[in-house]
Amino acid sequence: MRSFVHVRVYGVPLWGWLAAAVLYAGVAGVAIELAWQRSVSAIATVGSYRLDLYAASLKSELGRYEMVPGIVARQDSVHALLRARTDAQPAFLHAVDTYLAAVNREAGSLAVYLIEPHGTVIAASNWDQPLSFVGTNVSYRPYFKDALAHGSGRFFGIGTNTGVPGLYYASAVREADGSIGAAAVKISVDALESAWRVPAEAAMVVDANGVIVISTVPAWKFTALRPITPERQTQIQASRQYAGRAVEPLLYRRLGDWGTAGWFAQFPDWTHPGRYRRFLAMSKPAPQAGDSIVVLLDVAPARHQQYLALAFVTGLFLIAGLYGLYATQHRRAIAEKLNAQDALRRANERLEVTVQQRTAELTSANARMRQEIAERINAEQSLRDSQQELVHAGKLAVLGQMAAGLTHELNQPLVAIRTLSDNARTFFERNQPASAIANLERISRLVDGMALLTGELKTFARRPGIERVPVSLNEAVAHAVLIYESRIRDEQVQLDMHVAVGTMVYAEPSQLQQVIVNLLGNALDAVATEGRRTIAIDAHDGDEHGRVMFTISDSGTGIAPEVLAHLFEPFVTTKPRGRGLGLGLAITSRLVEGFGGRISAENVPGGGARFRIDFVAATAQGTANGR
């Protein structure tokens, strides 16, 4: 039950729908009833107007004939004729007939005639017509009886001769000793009926018997609106009021009353034979005593009003319902939106917290990184410093070697120059200038050789340029060989050189020399203790385009296995203290890298070591082929 109660359709709980349905049913019911009441009362108003109108027209249309028999009854000729009866002269009868015809014409009635006390018509306005009333006996007709008994009579009936329905008025022709006959007039109600005819309405006059005598629906004429008792039926038959026909009841169904003003009933629909239609019936006594006027008013407009009211209420409910649904959906959408916004806000807050945490982490990571960077920069700086120192130290070492070489190289010429200058002085003292000059010339040549050596030293000592330029590799090799010339000669080293003239590489000239001096020095050291001492220097085009492959191989001891893995690291040496610092190759590799080259070392299978340098080639004109 709980879950049933909580069922929602379009966001509205079930009880809401039920309440709306009940409300709709209630309002629709009230609206339909109100519409019915209002329209029926409007129809009833029309009905009472009609009744008044018909009563007035009955009074004016029929009432004016009421006098006609009375006037006729006062005529002397009429009295004379009735007194004379059958003894009357034909000329006198003719005069009365003519008078009656004149009255009939003037009044506009159907017929005006005189009846003798036994009920036989003795003179008539239609005396000369085929259906003349003259000779007809009307003694059974109530209007005649009433006229004789009470002075006047009135009667709706169908003519026994003519079969034409009409209203009869009769008036007694009185003398001092009593009634000697009656004068009568018959009136047609056709004009009245056609005047009253209104579409979808019926109007009729019902006589004292309850028989319809005037009707806008011709078929209903002389049918009974009220049930007729058998005795009455016999009386009617006797009076031949309705030409002797048995009066049939009009078949209709009474449905209910509309207050005291009228009643609802289903009458045969005269426009659609066989069908019935609902009417509001209203009646009013006719001006003639005993008769009543009945109008039947169509209630279809009231039905339409009900449909309209229902449609209006339904429309109203639909609009209200749609608006309600829209409002509910809108409210729901707003609630969802608010929820979503709330969720978004919470997510945002969470995100903010996360972002703050992450930011804090990042900030500290950043700080750490900055610190690390600072440390790295410091480390790099100290590395650079130590590398600088290494380069310097390496240079010093080479200088030391060179100094030893120079001392050796310069000592000999210096000793020779001393001897030659001493001898030259002696020759001058002995006045042998030619010999003295020869000595001086030899001194001069020796000094030239010394100048050559010191020149090399200057080149080497020059501060290296930062820029790489095309440098002649063969010239650099030649200079290095020159530096070690005395050693090569003294130690009887066989030097094989295959470096083509004009081989150009990208380098810094003094650094390139230092590189080759280092490698050649190491090779000389390696072969020093060997029986066969050869060093091969070679340069050819590299495997890669725009490269020059330089190799220096020796027949020496080969690189010690423990050294091979750390060859290019500083202070790695196998040489005795004072001879090697272990800086040469470290500096060399760094310089080569600075040229954009690559250095590697290996032991050759036949014994000895081979160093390779892969240089960037340059043309003699100074345009780079490589980088």
Sites of contact with ligand ADP (CB under 6 A):
518, 522-523, 526, 554, 556-560, 563, 567, 572-575, 580-586, 609
Q: Which residue's CB is nearer to ligand ADP, number 103 or number 523?
A: 523
How crowded is residue 149: how many other Cβ atoms within 10 Å of its Cβ?
12
Q: CB-wise, 400 or 465, nearer to ligand ADP?
A: 400
Token representation of residue 524: 């000389």
Query: What DSSP assignment string belongs to 149-172?
Result: HHSEEEEEEE-TTT--EEEEEEEE
Render the burial of 347-381: b for 16+ CB within 10 Å, e for the rest.
Answer: eeeeeeeeeeeeeeeeeeeeeeeeeeeeeeeeeee
Rank residues 75 and 557 by Cβ distance to ligand ADP and give the closer one: 557
Q: What are phi and psi of 503, to 5 degrees?
A: -75, 115
Rounding to the nearest 10 degrees, give the CA dihedral for residues 611, 617, 618, 624.
-140
Q: Residue 309: in which H helix or E strand, if any? A: helix 300-429
Which residue lies nearer to ligand ADP by CB, 133 or 568? 568
C-alpha–C-alpha distance, residues 577 and 496, integer Å = 31
By beta-carbon proximity to ligand ADP, the closer residue of 57 and 573 is 573
State the amino acid at position 542 in one-letter form: G
Closest contact distance (angstroms) between CB of 582 and ligand ADP is 4
- Pair 305, 36: CB distance under 8 Å: yes
Residue closer to ligand ADP (CB basis): 159 or 556: 556
CB of 585 to ligand ADP, least distance (A): 3
Alpha helices in 200-255 (DSSP H): 230-239
Residue (165 or 580) nearer to ligand ADP, CB: 580
The least distance separating ligand ADP from the CB of residue 586, rounded to whole angstroms, comes to 6
Rounded to a whole number of angstroms, the minimum distance from the CB of residue 616 to ligand ADP is 24
Q: Which whole-number Å values give the CA distances from 488 to 450, 550, 553, in the listed order? A: 18, 20, 15
Q: Which is nearer to ligand ADP, 95 or 536 (CB)?
A: 536
Closest to ligand ADP by CB, 286 or 515 = 515
| Residue 203 near residue 136 (C-beta atoms within 8 A) | no
For 474, counting Cβ atoms within 10 Å of its Cβ (0-12 exposed, 13-18 middle, 19+ buried), the class is: middle
**For residues 57 and 387, which CB has a smaller minimum distance to ligand ADP in the complex?**
387
Task: Supply the minimum distance, in Å, between the C-beta of residue 539 and ligand ADP.
Answer: 18
Taking the complex as a whole, the smallest distance from the CB of residue 562 to ligand ADP amounts, in Å, to 9
Shortest reach from residue 607's CB to ligand ADP, in Å: 10
Smallest CA-to-CA distance from 155 within 229, 231, 62, 219 is with: 62
Q: How far is the CB of 487 from ligand ADP (least distance, A)?
A: 14
Cα separation, 550 vs 612, in Å, equals 6
Q: Let me know: does 306 contact 32? Beta carbons within 8 Å.
A: yes
Residue 471, classed as helix, strand or coil, is strand
Give me the phi and psi of 53, to 5 degrees please.
-60, -45
Q: How far is the CB of 524 from ligand ADP (least distance, A)?
A: 9
Comparing CB distances to ligand ADP, the nearer of 321 and 558 is: 558
- Residue 473: phi, psi to the nearest 5? -70, -40
Q: How far is the CB of 379 from ligand ADP (least distance, A)?
A: 23
- In whole angstroms, the minimum distance from the beta carbon of 573 to ligand ADP comes to 3
